[in-house]
Amino acid sequence: MLITNLALWYSPDEVELYLVDFKKGVEFKTYVTHALPHARVIAVESEREFGLSVLRKLDAELTRRGQLFREAGAQDVAGFRKTLKPGDPSLPRLLLVVDEFQEFFVEDDKLAQEAALLMDRIVRQGRAFGMHVVLGSQTLGGAYSIARSTLGQMAVRIALQCSEADSYLIMSEDNSAARLLNRPGEAIYNDMSGRIEGNSLFQVVWLPEAKRETHLGKLESCRPPSGSAPSPAIVFEGNIPADLARNAALAAQLARSEPASAVPTVWLGEPISIKEPTSAVFRRQSGSNLLVVGQQEDAAATLLMSSVLSLAAFAARAGPGGGGGVGPKLVVLDSTPADLPHALHLESVTRKWPGVARFARSRDLPEAIADLSRELALREQAEHVTAPLFVVVSGLHRFRDLRKSDDFSFSSDESAQTTAQQFAHLLREGPPVGMHTLIWCDTAANIDRTFERNTLREFDCRVLFQMSAADSTHLIDAPTASTLGRHRALLHSEETGITEKFRLYAPPEPRWLAAAWDAVASSAAQG
């Protein structure tokens, strides 16, 4: 009711909403469906990391507003608005609504500590700058909770029927009135920081869902022209996989609306924070390869497909490079069994590659690796910079020819090297000359069967699906991947030491995917 009421009474120029719901429900989903113009952020089934990114965004806005107010010599919103001239951007009030905010504090970790500091700063300083906070929770009990000093800055308290202990926590140490409430929707409003003398009994207003939908529909009909409408809200739906079609960076690259990237980039998924989509870049330096480990074969197939599409968009814009006027190349080594639904996906996208591309199955592997080995030798001797070459390996664990042998002898003669040795040499020496490898393997055990331990150093970027704590620690020196849920993965950078959780892409809609490849072809034709 609160959100709908604000939207009906005030325009987006007057009020902006930041809505974060940690519940396992879809309470805020309707504001996504109706594209509520007041909403700047809408999080459904949010995660702690995303909620923290919202607090960081608001903290940055608090800093910005503080600077504006100092420059204008204003003490509050009303005073600042008096300094605005016709045509100046408005300064709407901001309202942060967090349902089940206690989720921030379910663990006593760095995230909880940072959330507590940011929340305290926004609550203490935000009011003067037009920033307000509404926190909702079923209980304030538990081992970890919001600091009492922060709660002390929130004069308005509303309590529904609850235990005596919670009543003391919500109101004050001598106010247990909320435990006496017994009718549905009966509540206590208190604007005196919970003191008993501030208690006011009231009945919560219930807005039926049908009426709410009607009101929100009216707001849609009053939406201003697209040119003057606010930018779309940042939407995070934690209960579903990410949508590749919503990747604005990839869309801009496909539409040629932004300058061509100088460095090949693959888009891996949607971050659990307010930032650009999660990506991996391939610079001409040692270790610039990507390793994906996890048993979710369908998710791995989609990730590799989106990676190839990302690289194709780069290749189309890059155009003919060095190496005899040949642009970026693609080699796909695929061991996917023919009876799997996605068995032909990589083969089909290989045919759409805007330039020279090769597709090989298991039986063709030795020849393909030998050709890559010869290509590497030529590049190492070349005096000019050659165009990038990307090697995509799907199902490393099914390529027996790539497994390390018990023969530890090594020869500088490439013809005498085994296929596995040639491949290891490619991983080590390929990136500095523009040959980058993207690999998916199902388990850490099969990684160990294939590579010598030091070969892991050749993968600066590693993507992990859910796995055991031991396997996670083996691959990234931390058990973090053991806590991942559905549609989640980790991107770990050995170069920076940063580990980022993100949402995996769902298989894109065929119509959108076809349009994306048409855009690649069109971009390649334009040169």
Query: Tell me: the pLDDT tens digits for 95-134?
Result: 999 999 999 988 888 999 999 999 999 999 999 999 999 9
Contacts of 352 (CB under 8 A, 6+ apart): 312, 517, 520, 521
CB atoms within 10 A of CB 156: 13
What confidence tier does 94 reach under pLDDT thresholds 50, 70, 90? very high
pLDDT at 271: 93
Tell me if domain 2-237 and domain 244-520 are identical in fold: yes
Among candidate residues 492, 495, 402, 381, the one with its CA nearest the CA of residue 447? 402
pLDDT score, position 486: 87
User: Average pLDDT of 408-428?
Assistant: 76
User: How much is the pLDDT for 52?
Assistant: 96
What does the pLDDT read at residue 205? 87
Q: What value does the mean pLDDT take over residues 143-172?
A: 88
- Asked if the model's pLDDT at residue 17 lies above 70, the reply is yes
244-520 topology per CATH? Rossmann fold (3.40.50)
Determine the pLDDT at residue 107. Answer: 87
- Whether residue 294 contacts residue 464, with contact meaning beta carbons closer than 8 Å, is answered with yes
Looking at residue 322, what is its pLDDT?
39
Query: Can you say whether residue 73 is alpha, beta or left, with left for phi > 0 and alpha for psi between -120 and 50 degrees?
Result: left
DSSP state of 45: S
CA distance 163 to 180: 9
Q: List the single range of 66-80, 248-262, 437-451 with lowest mean pLDDT.
A: 248-262
pLDDT above 80 (res 62): yes
Rg for the chain (alpha carbons), in Å?
28
The rounded distance, in Å, linking the Cα atoms of 471 and 478 is 9
Whether 172 shows a pLDDT value over 60: the answer reads yes
pLDDT for the residue 323: 39
Residue 23: per-residue pLDDT: 80
pLDDT in tens, 285-342: 999 999 999 999 999 999 999 999 999 999 998 866 433 446 899 999 999 888 887 7
**Quick one: how far is CA 36 from the chain centroid?**
22
End-to-end CA distance of the chain: 54
520's CB contacts (< 8 A; 6+ apart) are 254, 309, 312, 313, 316, 352, 354
- Please state, rounded to an integer, the average pLDDT across all residues of the chain: 89
Q: What is the pLDDT of residue 527?
A: 66
Classify each residue of 207-224 as buried b or exposed e, where b means 16 or more C-beta atoms within 10 Å of its C-beta: eeeeeeeeebeebeeeee
pLDDT, mean of residues 251-260: 84
pLDDT level of residue 228 (50, 70, 90 thresholds): low
- Pairwise CA distance, residues 20 & 5, whole Å: 18
| 2-237 is a CATH 3.90.1150.10 domain | no
- Write down the domain spans for the chain: 2-237, 244-520
With 70 as the cut, is the pLDDT of residue 406 above it? no
Q: Of 334, 315, 331, which Cα lies nearest the Cα of 440?
A: 334
Specify the pTM: 0.86
Residue 412, classified by CB atoms within 10 Å of its CB into exposed (0-12), middle (13-18) or buried (19+), is: exposed
